[in-house]
Amino acid sequence: MTTVVPGTQKQAPSSGLTVAVLAFAGIVVALMQTLVIPLIPQLPTLLHASPSNTSWAITATLLAGAVATPVFGGLGDMFGKRRILVLCLGLLVVGSVVCALSDSLTPMIVGRALQGAAAGVIPLGISIMRDELPAEKLGSAIGLMSSSLGVGGALGLPSAALLAEHIGWHVLFWVSAGLGAVVAVLVVAVVPESPLRSGGRFDVLGAVGLSAGLVCLLLPISKGGDWGWTSGTVLGLFAAAVVILLLWGRWELRSPRPLVDLRITVGRRVLLTNLASVMAGFSMFAMSLVLPQVLGMPKATGYGLGQSLLVIGLCMAPGGLVMMAISPFAARLSAARGPKVSLMAGALVIAIGYGLGVVLIGAVWQIIVFTCVISAGVGIAYAAMPALIMSAVPASETGAANGLNALMRSIGTSTSSAVISVVLADMVTRFGPVELPSLSGFRVAMLIGCGAALAAFLIAAFIPGRRDAGNLAPVAADAAARAR
């Protein structure tokens, strides 16, 4: 049951300032996620550990983000979205400081896990926008917030490479801590807190069950290539994930105040949107795995482009800027045709981009072109998903519902990482004493990304179209009506 908390509805700053601060928060979180990428080849030396162990600096962030996103979404619905968003930013700051002070593997993993918990910022920010913005501004604001993931990633890679090369790797995390602290202060000063609360007690058992199930699911997906896909550990974790998630679902259906209302999430509109989100997340991440390798591979291979890490980051940057630039168009398309059409259009553009990539892979400018096409599709699709979710759930459930949708995209990216890595590891060519992914392997990976995008398109075609973005009435109006 939704309640209105007295005294929380203050005179809000301009909606434009609120959107700008929330989008900045999303960019900072995305920056944090890309900071460690330039360090991956050097991590074994920097942390005095083996490559397989240092990969936990990536895996820990992934797992923490997947677990924290739906949990923090539910907490935001209950205790205030702005409050929980500030908590996420606080964890980012603490995690960044831990990483900045670390010179060994264990504190780095702990710090990266704390940073990963900040992944809840973007879905919480989108939910705050629904609570606070007038309906006519909501679509473009959601598009901008969704695109912040790409913008942060595009800016983060070249910036991190430049700082790590010329100043030192610890400074990357000090910058992350500083930006996180600035954003937290801005959120407190600018972003209003919604007066709505879902009420009830927090579903601790549900949160523990979901966390355990996700760890058992995502851990073997992330580490299966290292451990062996048929090993007892991987198969046992997959089996445990099935059992735990089934038991968790049974508990959630019986709980008076579930962490995730499964009766809503299994509705056709929400369920199909989440399934399409898995495929869109898969397709989006495939680009991030393929293109840096093609750009960085030696020219002597005949298909590698031999670029430095800084140049690779600069080549990826236009895609993030395209995502931001496309967000107003995505909002207008959703307003005119509905977010279902936007999701289908975005998935189709992604598929076209990958189709171009199969052919246009011989020069830097060609890669920039099809990267921008794919990024435009991602920008359109990612802006449509929250609109579809929020048009199908009660206002008091937006935090948890958006968190679950973000989780579905995370599952897609994790699966993409595993599948594309297997393809590139199996389709190799010998170059001197080492084996490198072959040109055919890169093309197959892009065809897989194209197929995932087409799957998202087909799934989205079956989403009921009875509501559109115009039906996303602001929660502030709902609260006023209930208060009378």
The pLDDT of residue 482 is 34
Region of poorest pLDDT, from 36-50, 84-98, 264-278, 347-361: 36-50
- Alpha-carbon distance of 328 to 326, in angstroms, equals 6
- Alpha-carbon distance of 450 to 465, in angstroms, equals 25
Any idea which residue has 């929020």 for tokens?
390
Strands 196-197 and 428-431 turn out to be unpaired
Residue ranges with strand state E in 148-239: 196-197
- For 319-343, what is the mean pLDDT? 83
Query: The tokens of 45 are what?
Result: 């030396």
The answer for residues whose C-beta is within 8 angstroms of residue 210's C-beta and 6 or more apart is 67, 70, 71, 245, 248, 259, 260
- Alpha-carbon distance of 384 to 374, in angstroms, equals 16
Average pLDDT, the chain: 81
Does position 361 have pLDDT exceeding 60, yes or no? yes
Tens-place pLDDT, residues 93-108: 999 999 999 888 889 9
* Length of the chain in terms of residues written: 484
Region of poorest pLDDT, from 25-34, 116-125, 390-399, 456-465: 390-399
- Alpha-carbon distance of 137 to 135, in angstroms, equals 5
The pLDDT of residue 230 is 86
- For 173-202, what is the mean pLDDT? 84
The listed range with the strongest mean pLDDT (190-204, 293-307, 359-373, 443-457) is 443-457
Q: Which of 36, 291, 295 is nearest to 159 (CA)?
A: 36
Strands 196-197 and 3-4 turn out to be antiparallel
Tens-place pLDDT, residues 198-213: 666 777 888 888 888 8
- Alpha-carbon distance of 85 to 379, in angstroms, equals 23
DSSP state of 118: G
In percent, how much of the chain has pLDDT > 70? 90
The listed range with the strongest mean pLDDT (44-58, 167-181, 295-309, 420-434) is 167-181
The pLDDT of residue 292 is 78
Q: Which ranges in 35-120 belong to alpha helices (H)?
A: 43-47, 51-54, 56-79, 81-100, 105-116
The vertex-435 CA angle with 433 and 440, nearest 5°, equals: 145
The pLDDT of residue 484 is 35
Query: The tokens of 179 are what?
Result: 């930006």
The pLDDT of residue 179 is 92
pLDDT band at residue 396 using 50, 70 and 90 as cut-offs: low
DSSP state of 410: H
Does position 153 have pLDDT exceeding 90, yes or no? no
Tens-place pLDDT, residues 212-263: 888 888 888 877 777 888 888 989 999 999 999 999 888 888 887 777 777 7
- For 361-374, what is the mean pLDDT? 87
